[in-house]
Amino acid sequence: MKSKAGLMVECTKNMLRSLQNAVESGQTEVEIGEYMSRVTADIISRTQFGSSYEKGKQIFHLLTELQSLCHQATRHLCLPGSRFFPSNYNRQIKSKKMEVDRLLLEIIQSRKDCVEIGRSSSYGDDLLGMLLNEMEKKTSDGFNINLQLVMDECKTFFFAGHETTSLLLTWTVMLLASNPSWQEKVRAEVKEVCNGETPSIDHLPKFNLLNMVVSESLRLYPSGTLLPRMAFEDIKLGDLDIPKGLQIWIPVLAIHHSEELWGKDANEFNPDRFASKSFAPGRHFIPFAAGPRNCIGQSFAMMEAKIILAMLISQFSFNISDSYRHAPVVVLTIKPKYGVQVYLKPLNS
């Protein structure tokens, strides 16, 4: 993960230059979500696929379309076996899934061929290459890995490093734009910690206030609103007996806004609630459905988000635009229906 921090900084600098150019051209108001989506897509495509960056972007767009299609299914009555009906909807999902798998297999096969003919001694130093290198070490009879597992992990990285991180950044900017006193506090902390240097992975543990703000943003706008879990053994939750094999749904959004748990200000932005040492940022609130198989994705996403926020707040001040309409909607994740418009002001002007 540390080796990818420099690439994150490079992509963020490109995004900040785009914002600077927009301001210099007279555009003082921007829809910040578009920039956050663009920079996180750039980062995950480059870090996951390296030299296969352009093909990675194709996969990203297909996965985004698949997410939208899958969300449509949650709004309709699902009859047993209906996913096998030859409807236009089912054909679209099948076609896009097959195209994603085809592109992923092409990338994986090209890495395999390069190693087999001796053109390369490894599968690469990007995330896909590291995954393939590690899996090969654990095989006893040559290159005999589960390709479906590799493809599933690639898809997990996409959503961990793009979709959820982009939304975390967008909501956090909205909250800081609406709460200028906290924006100033975080900016002062970044300035003190970095001392004029570009934010790096070594600075991240020292960003106490930024960690508190990120945790509060995830509490108010958790990217995963419902977490499905299956009991692997008989358990007891409070007064409930949960038998082995039962699938349960954890209402994350409701829990994060519970006055019983958080007090009367449960719906208010108050990062100070995380000042207590008992709350470890990143342990209680994470920007996507947690699980053992995507712990690396969690670390990657949090590192990415903090570097981008630290660099953004060092270069610009921002206030919420008069045209902003607060309308969070659930589309598998929580998204701002009309975007997040902010007024930008370069700090060096």
Among candidates 149, 253, 158, 269, which has minimal Cα distance to 215? 269
Buried b (16+ CB within 10 A) or exposed e, 110-130: ebbeebeeeeeeebbebbbbb
Q: Could you tell me which residues are annotated as the binding site?
A: 295
316 residue type, one letter: F
CB distance 43 to 8 below 8 Å: yes
Q: Could you tell me which residues are annotated as the binding site for heme?
A: 295
CB distance 65 to 34 below 8 Å: no
Q: What does the alpha-carbon distance between residue 230 and residue 234 come to, in Å, rounded to a whole number?
A: 11
Tokens of 309: 């926020």
CA 91 to chain centre: 28
124: left (phi over 0), alpha (psi -120 to 50) or beta: left
216 residue type, one letter: E
CB distance 197 to 255 below 8 Å: no
Among candidates 248, 245, 216, which has minimal Cα distance to 233? 245
Read out DSSP for 264-321? TTTTS--GGGG-STT--TTTS--SS---GGGHHHHHHHHHHHHHHHHHHHHHEEEEE-
